[in-house]
Structure 1
Amino acid sequence: MHGRQWRLGVVMAIAALAACGGKQAPPAPPRPVLVVQPGGGPDLAFDAFAGEVRARNENPLSFRIGGNLARRLVDAGDRVRQGQLLAELDPGDQRLQAGAAQAQVAAAEAALLRARADLDRYKALADQQLVSRSTYDAQLAAYRAAEGQARAARAQAGVAGNQTGYTQLRAPRDGVIASRMAEAGQTVAAGQAIYILAGDAGREVQIALPEARIRDFQVGQPALVELWGRAGERLPARIREIAPAADPQVRTYAARVALEPAAAAAVDLGQSARVYVQQAGPAAALRIPLSALQRDEAGRASVWVVAPGTHALRRAPVTLGPFGADSVPVLSGVAASDWIVAAGGHLLREGQVVAPVDRDNRPVGAAPGAR
């Protein structure tokens, strides 16, 4: 009796185990993963530099001679025309020098006339053999000396006349007086700046480029200019000039960014501006966090990309640029619109369905199977 009961219990236990073995375990829910989209890219990779609007042609205007500044006819901010009189030195000394030079010319020409008459007389006597040939040659030399002195006197008179003209400072071109640097009554030296003239031919923004990245910039490279007083409006421009040597004090390279002619009329001299220059090479590539990088079976760099809709994982091999402190540029393999797993990739597998969330713990896209 006891043997039959024991056998019946064993059979029932085996049947129960068989019944339990036939049931399948419920599938595990999708694993939550943190996902991000690659940042940067050519449309967003810009370097920004602060600068100031300047004229393309900025000329310090000065007198070619020194003297006392008698009159100043324009002031900072005045618009001037080519040839307009801007300032004048006291011309008294120059007029006296010009008068003295003219007197020297008159004396030299009188001496030349006398030497010419003497030469003609000695030539007639020499033809009649009344004077020696050496005497005639001496008179010819005296005439040529007088002729040279007359030429020198006329040249000196021309210089003195020019010196008188140099007492007037005139505008070399159309433009605006950007600054005034001397006052009437002041004694100025030759070459000392009196005004700074900003010509009308073009407007530029002066910026400083960093020494460490100077090879990333070149003349002709496109740029955008945004005035601080008109935020959001960007004007087309190009790098026109880069200094060949760095400033010894701050170790930056001075550069000029020229505005397009249509945009130059929209800016004023001295305005503060920001210049945006698009980056090139790896700096302009998409960037991903270092924590998103994985290695496939062959040791190549890759990332996990979440398929839209199904949320299944796909391994995407990538080509990388130089590593940064917390990110790395991706030269190929992913697009800006892809969602990639930012962390924990070593726990995932190909084709696994996940529940992607962003850094704010918000679900990305619809859940798998959602209607």
Structure 2
Amino acid sequence: MWGGGDYMMRAFCRPSWGRVLTACVAIAVLVAIAVAGTVIWRRLALDAPPAPVATVTRGDIEEIVLATGTIVPLRQVNVGAQVSGQLKTLAVRVGDRVEQGQLLAEIDPILQQNELKRAEAALTHAEAQRTAQLALLRQHRLALKRELAMRKADANTEADLEAASTQADTTAANVAALDATLRQARIAVESAEASLAYTRIVAPMAGQVISVVAEAGQTLVAAQMAPTILVLADLDEMLVKARISEADVVRVRTGQGGWFSILGAPLRKIPVVLRSISPAPPVTPGSDAATAGGQGGAIYYHGDFLVANGDNALKPSMTAQVSIVTGRAPGALRVPAAAVSGPDQNGRYTVQVVRYRADGTIAGGETREVEIGLSDHVWVQIVRGVEEGEPVAIDPQGEAKGQA
């Protein structure tokens, strides 16, 4: 009995080859995973990109000043009414092209015609009075002549001579007064004729109607200010009025070239030349030149650029993104702006020149002082300090450097 129990106990405690095999497989899998992870980690470490490096190259650099502008017609006229009355006819519409002298609108002329008739009647009356006074003056002068002859013969009294002289002088004065009245009457006629002519409103220049303010049948009152009927502009030549900040205006000069683009065609660069710069900021209503720009606000100066608009692609009030070229360096030695550090407290700029090992890995770098020139915020011109083809390190957080 006891023998059988010992046999069973030994059978129970005997190791299981299945469990041993399972444990060995698990250990092998863990070792394989560890080895694979190590290999992958090393491979990733080898494949990790090195620090960004750029090569000193040659290329063109343009230093520019950026400004935002508004496109306006070079010539624009608000056509208004110089006389009061009802707008009888409006002969044009928005978009119509007109020639100089072409009829645009007509005001009912009845009031001006009546005013002209009254002025002409007053002129005729003044002419008749002057004719009568001239006849009377001749009569009085003849009478004075007779009195003088009689006085020599002592055939009359001194009082008779004085009376004849006084009548002649008075009549002459009346003629002079009527001459002045006659001139006034003629001026009144000319004014009435001009007012009648003003009822026919013609184009003061060739151009295009860009706005119509009044409508046919509307009553216009020109007592204090000439009411605007329509706006006429020459769209063949446009003016770009750019707002140049006070920080940039010291760098621009008349005659400098550049280009601008519009929101509808951002890739189209339209060449322009700076025509003029305003000597002071534009004055807004309620302020003066001394306070233009506001208290503590940004101050801008207007720069004007003339541009041809033969295809009429440019419209009034469009927004223009203007680039003014303040400097140009063709074929300059240059590096990316992010490769330049500085200026430091002494105004010096530096770059990190990269050194390579024989196997192509980076061995380190050399800090080198450089002299910079122009910058377009992407590239910086290097005047002195590095040579073409040398590798330089790029700071990904670096900012574009300005002109030294």
Unmatched tracts of structure 2, length 5 or more: 1-49, 148-160, 283-291, 397-404
Q: What is the TM-score normalised by the length of structure 1?
A: 0.68
Aligned partners of 1:209, 1:162: CA distance in 2, in Å?
Answer: 46
Q: Does 1:166 align with 2:198?
A: yes
Q: Which of these residues, 230, 234, 245, is aligned with residue 210 of structure 1?
A: 245
AA matched with 1:268: L
Change (3 A) 1:300 1:278: closer
Q: Which of these residues, 165, 171, 178, is aligned with residue 133 of structure 1?
A: 165
Q: Does 1:60 align with 2:78?
A: yes
Q: Does 1:155 align with 2:187?
A: yes
Q: How does 1:182-197 map to 2 (within 5 A)?
A: 182-188=214-220, 189=222, 190-197=225-232
Once the two structures are TM-superposed, the CA of residue 336 in structure 1 deviates from its matched residue by 10
Q: Does 1:239 align with 2:274?
A: yes
Partner of 1:98: 116
Say if 1:316 and 1:333, in contact at 8 Å, map to a contact too.
no
Partner of 1:351: none
Once the two structures are TM-superposed, the CA of residue 317 in structure 1 deviates from its matched residue by 4.2
| Deviation larger for 200-209 or 36-45 | 36-45
Say if 1:37 and 1:336, in contact at 8 Å, map to a contact too.
no
Higher helix proportion (structure 1 or 2): 2
AA matched with 1:257: F
Change (3 A) 1:269 1:342: same
Aligned partners of 1:173, 1:336: CA distance in 2, in Å?
Answer: 61
What is the total number of aligned residue pairs between the two structures?
Answer: 306
Q: Does 1:278 align with 2:325?
A: yes
Partner of 1:254: 302
Change (3 A) 1:291 1:156: closer
SS in 2 for 1:197: strand
- Percent identity over paired residues: 26
Aligned partners of 1:64, 1:79: CA distance in 2, in Å?
Answer: 23
Partner of 2:38: none
Aligned partners of 1:257, 1:246: CA distance in 2, in Å?
Answer: 17
Q: What is the TM-score normalised by the length of structure 2?
A: 0.63
Residues 220-275 of structure 1, C-alpha deviations (whole Å, 9 max, x = no match): 2212133443343322211223333324467433333212x4x6446332455432
Change (3 A) 1:34 1:63: same
Change (3 A) 1:290 1:314: closer
AA matched with 2:383: S
SS in 1 for 2:267: coil
Instruction: Give the alignment's Cα RMSD to 1 decimal.
Output: 4.2
Kindly name which structure, 1 or 2, has the bigger radius of gyration based on alpha carbons. 2
Q: Which of these residues, 367, 383, 393, is aligned with residue 332 of structure 1?
A: 383
Aligned partners of 1:334, 1:193: CA distance in 2, in Å?
Answer: 65
Change (3 A) 1:245 1:184: farther
AA matched with 2:88: A
Change (3 A) 1:68 1:308: farther
Residues 168-204 of structure 1, C-alpha deviations (whole Å, 9 max, x = no match): 2111111101111122222333422221111255223
Aligned partners of 2:257, 2:356: CA distance in 1, in Å?
Answer: 36
Unmatched tracts of structure 1, length 5 or more: 1-31, 344-357, 360-371
| Deviation larger for 247-256 or 137-146 | 247-256
SS in 2 for 1:177: strand
Say if 2:55 and 2:389, in contact at 8 Å, map to a contact too.
yes
Say if 2:243 and 2:303, in contact at 8 Å, map to a contact too.
yes
AA matched with 2:83: I
Change (3 A) 1:166 1:328: same
Q: Does 1:176 align with 2:194?
A: no
